[in-house]
Amino acid sequence: MADIIITRNDFLHEVIFELAETAQNLTFPMPRVIEYLKKEGFIISFTETYGNVTVLRRQGAKAIVTEMTICFEKLDSGEKEKFHQNFHSYIVSRAKIFFESALQNNNAAKINLIQNQFRTCVSNMYYSLHNSFASMVENYKSTIIENEDIKKSISSEDEETTLGHFTPNSLEIFLTTIDDICQSEREEFLVRPELGRGKKSYENPFAWLYVIFYNDFGGDDLQRIIIDMRSALENADLNNYGVDESQRRSSFENQLKENLNRIHEIIQTETNTSSPKYVIAILAGFLSYAYMLRQSGDYDSLFDVKMSQQDIINWTITTSNFMDLVMINLKEGSETEHTRVQKLDAASSTEILKGNVPDNFKPIMTITGIIISREFELFSAIKKLNQIQGYANINYSKKMSVINNDTSIVTISRVLFSTPLVCYITFSKQGLFR
């Protein structure tokens, strides 16, 4: 990817950095570029800045930053290569790679969901969480970290070194020291031995929770996702886990259950919902439970008995919402993948969206998708649509759809004006639609 940034000049600018045509779906992260230029002595010219174009000046010389191009009226030859290397690292950094992988996992999990592939869904959901969290860790290590000992240790790491998984053992070590962590300096526990147990402490993923969210514990964005995660943890049914002592997995599951019980105690006793201990305990519980779901989905023959469809849907929605928080942390801006209503290019499973489709029904095209919101309420949505011209409570069989307290799937129709065509829409209680 060495040619991802093209360097050229023109009669107005000594140096122009622009993304090559091969750099599909990539942009310069403007907040990071601007922050770097400010450290190099540039000052934002607010009178010249507009929209997605930021103008900066240094000693009278102008620099212009957009998502595709960075132009310098004057730039010393010694700075040219340094700037190029920094801008290149912003685009192809390990943080970016992990984040792109997380987006792919997240989208795959939602496609698995509508296709009734729950085992694959929880696996992709977990890797979406792990990769997105790893992207925040990599971003912190490359742009924020202050501890010189960690910098030296990280610089000597193998390029393939990745973050550890959210295992019950790592969680237990973390919970044992959580009080000390919350009273420490921001990066202190990354170099102390307590979280390592034979390894480097910063390889324990839970060690980074306090570090990454250090300035955000009371922030609205984090608090919203914490409410969702707490609800998911409180509603998680652990009764079917760790009950078969003949299974090697039982000790693993029992260890997690004990850890989650400790987290429940923290949730109940911590009155300040923006305290570091409260926030990182819930984050840790959610991440570790997601790891157990992935393990269960991959290896447990009783997975379909232990996990309800509704729980899987709720965990997938919360994971998607967590991705929004990651984007804010990485200053990635908004993504179309994270709109609240998302179309998915995949055939949906009739096991989830049963619409009583007649055998002779021949649709011209089918679109499937998901509404990423815990606030979605099926009956309210159907009622509002029914009040809009063109919509009717008529299903594929030209009959009125029966709606009562036991209804989980509803099919309605919409006339496509000025055409002989009719669109049928099937909604589920969980926000899936086809």
What local confidence, expressed as pLDDT, does residue 315 receive?
Answer: 85
Please tell me the number of Cα atoms within 13 Å of 151 on its side-chain side: 7
Nearest to 73 by CA among 42, 36, 35: 42
> At residue 237, does pLDDT exceed 70?
yes
Total-model pTM: 0.69
Say whether pLDDT at 422 is over 90: no
Burial class from Cβ neighbours inside 10 Å (0-12, 13-18, 19+) for residue 133 reads buried
Could you read off the pLDDT of 150-175 as tens digits, one per residue?
Answer: 777 765 554 445 678 999 999 999 99
Q: Is residue 320 domain-shared with residue 349, that is, in the same domain?
A: no
Q: Is residue 313 pLDDT above 60, yes or no?
A: yes
- As a whole number of angstroms, the distance between CA 49 and CA 43 comes to 11
Band of the pLDDT at 242, cuts 50, 70, 90? Answer: low
Last residue of a domain, one of 338, 373, 396: 338
What pLDDT score does 159 carry?
46
Determine the 3-state secondary structure of 423 from DSSP. strand
Q: Give the model's confidence band at 245: pLDDT under 50 very low, under 70 low, under 90 confident, else very high.
A: low
Q: Please state, rounded to an integer, the average pLDDT across all residues of the chain.
A: 82
In this predicted model, which residue has the larger pLDDT, 85 or 143? 85
Q: Do 268 and 240 share a structural domain?
A: yes
Q: Is the dihedral of CA 74, 76, 80, 82 positive or negative?
A: negative
| Residue 343, pLDDT above cutoff 60 | no
Whether 190 and 237 map to the same domain: the answer is yes
Residues 128 and 273 in one domain: yes
Distance in angstroms (rounded) separating the CA atoms of residues 242 and 381? 40
- Count of CB atoms within 10 A of residue 101's CB? 17
The DSSP output letter for 349 is P
User: 25-48, pLDDT tens digit by residue?
Assistant: 678 888 889 999 999 999 999 999
Number of structural domains found in the chain: 3
What's the rounded mean pLDDT across residues 363-391?
Answer: 74
> Do 154 and 108 belong together in one domain?
yes
Q: Which of 294, 314, 338 is the last residue of a domain?
A: 338
Task: For 287-379, list the strands marked E by DSSP.
Answer: 341-344, 368-371
Which structural domain range is residue 369 located in? 344-433
Chosen domain end from 45, 67, 92: 92
Helix/strand/coil for 82: helix
- DSSP labels for 350-385? TTTS-----TT---S---EEEE--TT--HHHHHHHH
Same domain? 394 vs 409:
yes
pLDDT on residue 338: 45
Residues 377 and 326 in one domain: no
